[in-house]
């Protein structure tokens, strides 16, 4: 029997010392990966079973990452025309996303590559809606999400 999806998930704040040890180990694996102290999940899960990590990895997060929202990067290929980049930035602002950084390449064959890193929270558009809206912007040739889940 398939697991029924709830209309919305409930979240709880629980002291770390009250959590089962497996959750603490999953958080340790996430910290090792985030800090670059482990090059792969295989290397990081030496202290925990791999199946336990994959079972619980999406179920537990540090409180600060829930508050701050997800950080995503997108690569936007656009025509080298006036107002294309500002129109894209307007789309991010309409979505409620906070732009953290952007890098723009010099124009090559009339195209500019822009890498935008942004933060979202619960009050923003879903990433797929934002990417769709960016692709509909005049002068945008291609949009690719670089988010790793």
Q: How sure is the predictor about 149, in pLDDT bands with cuts at 50, 70 and 90?
A: very low
Does position 5 have pLDDT exceeding 60, yes or no?
no
Residues 6+ apart with CB under 8 A from 79: 110, 111, 112, 139, 140, 141
pLDDT per position as a tens digit, 23-55: 888 888 888 877 777 778 888 887 677 787 777
Give the 3-state secondary structure of residue 140. Answer: strand
Exposed e or buried b per residue across 46-69, where buried means at least 16 C-beta atoms within 10 angstroms of its C-beta: eebeeebbeebeeeeeeeeeeeeb
pLDDT at 44: 81
CA distances from 9 to 6, 59, 70 (A): 6, 10, 17
Q: How sure is the predictor about 11, in pLDDT bands with cuts at 50, 70 and 90?
A: low
pLDDT per position as a tens digit, 51-91: 877 777 777 766 555 445 678 899 999 999 999 999 999 99
Q: How sure is the predictor about 137, in pLDDT bands with cuts at 50, 70 and 90?
A: very high
| Both structure tokens of 79 | 């025509």
pLDDT at 104: 94
pLDDT at 76: 97
End-to-end CA, the chain: 26
Whole-prediction pTM value? 0.56
Mean pLDDT on 127-137: 91
pLDDT at 24: 82
Q: How sure is the predictor about 12, in pLDDT bands with cuts at 50, 70 and 90?
A: low
Give the CATH class of 69-145.
alpha beta
The structural domains of the chain, with segments of one domain joined by +, span 16-67, 69-145
Mean pLDDT on 115-137: 86
């Amino acid at each position: 029997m398939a697991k029924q999806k709830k209309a919305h998930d409930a979240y709880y704040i629980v002291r770390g010392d009250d959590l089962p040890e497996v959750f603490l180990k999953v958080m340790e694996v996430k910290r090792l990966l985030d800090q670059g102290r482990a090059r792969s999940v295989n290397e990081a899960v030496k202290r925990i079973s791999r199946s336990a990590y994959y079972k619980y990895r999406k179920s537990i997060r540090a409180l600060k990452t829930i508050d701050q929202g997800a950080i995503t990067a997108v690569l936007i290929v656009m025509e080298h025309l006036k107002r294309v980049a500002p129109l894209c930035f307007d789309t991010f602002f309409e979505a409620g996303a906070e732009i953290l950084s952007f890098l723009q390449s010099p124009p090559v064959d009339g195209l500019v590559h822009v890498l935008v890193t942004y933060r979202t929270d619960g009050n923003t558009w879903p990433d797929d809606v934002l990417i769709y809206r960016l692709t509909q912007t005049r002068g945008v040739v291609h949009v690719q999400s670089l988010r790793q889940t």
